[in-house]
Amino acid sequence: MPFLSTPISVDKLSLYTIGSEILFTQKHTDEVIPTLAVVHKYPDVLPAVRVDRGAIKFILGGANIMCPGLTSKGAQLPEAPGFEKGQVVAIYAEGKQHALAVGILTMSTEEIKSVNKGIGIELVSYLGDGLWTLKDSI
């Protein structure tokens, strides 16, 4: 039976692994968050939002997600009551099958719809980031 461990803890960032597979991250004393690899294996592990195609290149560059990328044509947020501020979400992109990032809502989805400016989601991890590439070196 595999052993769940915390082999890496740097600058108050903990990575929870089974063998060489990173399953969860935890920053400081915040909640434990599934990695993007876990979201790919278990798509329903986190609630999901969808960004429009125009947001993809910015997300893959590490940018937080702005509200217009979540409210424009091609994007999708849940119907009311939606998700609350602080909710961890899987981020999908218009026309793509798999999640491209995991993030934390900086405001509720209802606020994102009504305000429609500023940062709507703070990225935790995205395809190609250091955490994603670290999985190949453990």
Predicted confidence at residue 11, as pLDDT, reads 67
Measured at the CA of 99, the angle between CA 95 and CA 102, to 5 degrees, comes to 135
List, for residues 61-112, the tens digit of each pLDDT value. 999 999 999 999 999 999 989 999 999 999 999 999 999 999 999 999 999 9
Question: What three-state secondary structure class fits 12?
Answer: coil
The CA-based diameter of the chain, rounded to the nearest angstrom, is 49
Which residue has better confidence, 29 or 138? 29
Percent of the chain exceeding pLDDT 90 equals 70
> Does the reported pTM lie above 0.85?
yes
Q: Which residues contact 69 (CB under 8 A, 6 or more apart)?
A: 51, 52, 54, 55, 58, 75, 120
Delimit the domains of the chain by residue range.
4-134
Residue 2: pLDDT over 50: no
Q: Class assignment of domain 4-134?
A: alpha beta
